[in-house]
Structure 1
């Protein structure tokens, strides 16, 4: 519940790496996000600091990223921000900012795109097991001497 949801706009910095894992498809790529501001002294737009995020996509989103995203394209990404700090052997600590993507799209303020709905995969055909017959079968013996076929009145009289 206490997740940090972010929306970032930037350019794809590395080609998506797609993998089929036991938990399902996964894709990752780096996104460069550069702040721009208006410099009043120079009367021009100036680039500020560039932040790099590792974007992770899973399941169907990963499949669509692998088919749609290329280096240099402008994207809008929404997802959960995760900042990790780690120390590697013999090196100093490093920090990584990852985004577990929920939605990824091209930035239409900077270009056009054509949308194609992804085809849903066909469910695997299951081996045809016959459906069980849940109805109570009718007795085949209809003789008058069978207690199952007698009415309560006739059962008492006999």
Structure 2
């Protein structure tokens, strides 16, 4: 597929608007992305032009974004860029840039965040332990593991 995937780093500019639609949950908010550059004459970082994008999220991402994001918070958004032109009678054409989000998260380079996993209704059934490669994640309760399934420790490597 020929899609333009983008990763935008900026601040939430408007409170997310959440709606339940016939095709499922949807949320949107505006994202302000300001470029910064080093001004050699002033020996300081300077703000450049600010671009505004409308970010659209669907399904579980919409519900989680609406519950997690507030105005002013730094976020990273990954998704498909869509540039739209709107023509209205008697007015000049208006162009908007939207991002159909695939992933949204807080920018941890500028602060901390506490992650809270949400339950997913489509995964109500127990995992299929007969699938190859199934194993326990760190922190999962041992009673969730198959009794006949050997547990392998997760290894970490130190890079020097």
- Normalised TM-score (structure 1): 0.76
Q: Could you list the per-position Cα deviations for residues 3-53 of structure 1 after superposition, in whole angstroms to 9, with x for gaps in the alignment?
A: 000000000000000000000000000000000000001100000000000
1:40 maps to which residue? 40
Go from structure 1 to structure 2 and tell me whether the alpha carbon gap of 1:58 and 1:122 turns closer, same or farther (over 3 Å shift). closer
The residue aligned with 1:57 is 57
Q: Give the structure-2-normalised TM-score.
A: 0.75
CA shift at 1:91, angstroms?
1.6
Q: Which runs of 5 or more residues in structure 1 are unaligned?
A: 125-158
Please state whether the residue corresponding to 1:108 is helix, strand or coil: coil
Secondary structure, counterpart of 2:65 in structure 1: helix
Moved over 2 A (4+): 121-124
Larger radius of gyration: 1
1:18 & 1:54 partners in 2: Cα distance?
13
Q: 1:72-111, aligned counterparts within 5 Å?
A: 72-111=72-111
SS at match of 1:67: helix
Q: Equivalent residue for 1:6?
A: 6
CA distance in 2, matches of 1:87, 1:118: 41
Any idea what SS the aligned residue of 1:92 has?
Answer: coil
Q: Which residue of 2 aligns with 1:149?
A: none
- Residue correspondences, number: 124
Distance in 2 (alpha carbons) for counterparts of 1:123 and 1:114: 23
Q: What corresponds to 2:70 in structure 1?
A: 70
Q: Supply the distance in 2 between the matched residues of 1:50 and 1:73 (Cα, whole angstroms).
A: 16
Q: Using the TM superposition, give the Cα deviation of residue 88 of structure 1 relative to its aligned residue in structure 2, in angstroms.
A: 1.5
The two structures, once aligned, show a CA RMSD in angstroms of 1.4
Tell me how far 1:90 sits from its aligned partner.
2.3
1:58-94 CA-to-partner distances (Å, cap 9, x unmatched) read 0000000111000000000000000011112322111
Instruction: Give the Cα separation in 1 of the matches to 2:95 and 2:39.
Output: 30
